Structure 1
């Protein structure tokens, strides 16, 4: 049995929100602290993830454009991600099979074509990678972090 793209994307939205919520309530000072890592701070990592989520969704939905700037707090990022992810969840629900081919060009101008499901899979995988970066950044600052593994999502959804 294959995992539906709607469920996999819902996991991505859940995990991003869970991590931001943890930072907001438990360790807010960690958000903008400078850390030697892939990005200079947790905030910059979330900024990158948000921009990339917007980029890939915009490639699939040509009518989409990024909604203004968000300031630098976990609460603002949670709100921005929630709004974006609700829109993507609606897009997935309204798409019959996510097999529509999407042509796009990279930041270097190279052209590629993939179907919507492949692009969404990439978006989810990209988010998982950067949540891992953020977990490491939290540990570098002496915080335990919170688990955003897929199995914890499944357990929470079942409970």
Structure 2
């Protein structure tokens, strides 16, 4: 398994670990409006989902500007979901990533990324996977801080913990 695929598996595990923690908390915590990085944990999780989905479209051949067009609608749909609903959406998206990894033998393949916000850049598929992972890690940290702000403990989603959780 390539490093990029291993890191994606960590990302999927960390998202699942966070969703599992959110399911343990009082039901209102997930959508409670607060003054923080995002206005609710549900909006932060929906953002992670939307960005993950957009990047998958890009690595499978959609131009970035086209991949970003449905982002607002995808975000709204993800925000409307319960934790269980978003969990199912993440599970389906993770399976789509795994299909991509099985079909794309060369993650070191370079593509031209025409980012409407930053310009044109040649980028390897593995770099995009690492962007997905890094973006999720960043925002799971936001969610941990938001939970703490609301008086609840978060959950560890560090990469080193993933090593030991997935020995099998």
Consecutive unaligned residues in structure 2, runs of 5 or more: none
Aligned to 1:137: 146
Count residues in correspondence. 157
- More helix per residue: 1 or 2? 2
The alignment status of 1:96 with 2:105, answered yes or no, reads: yes
1:80-111 C-alpha deviation (Å, 9 max, x unpaired): 11100111022113222202222233243732
Q: 2: distance between equivalents of 1:151 and 1:56? A: 25
Deviation by residue 1:37-61 (Cα, 9 ceiling, x = unmatched): 2211111111111111011111111
Residue aligning to 2:56: 57
TM normalised by structure 2 equals: 0.84
1:28 Cα deviation from its structure 2 partner: 2.7
Give the superposed CA RMSD: 2.2
- What is the rounded CA distance, in whole Å, between the counterparts of 1:20 and 1:28 in structure 2? 12
**CA–CA distance in structure 1, aligned partners of residues 81 and 32 of structure 2:** 12
Is there any run of 5+ residues in structure 1 with no aligned partner, and where? none
Which stretch shifts more, 96-105 or 111-120?
96-105
Conservation of the 8 A alpha-carbon contact between 1:6 and 1:93: no
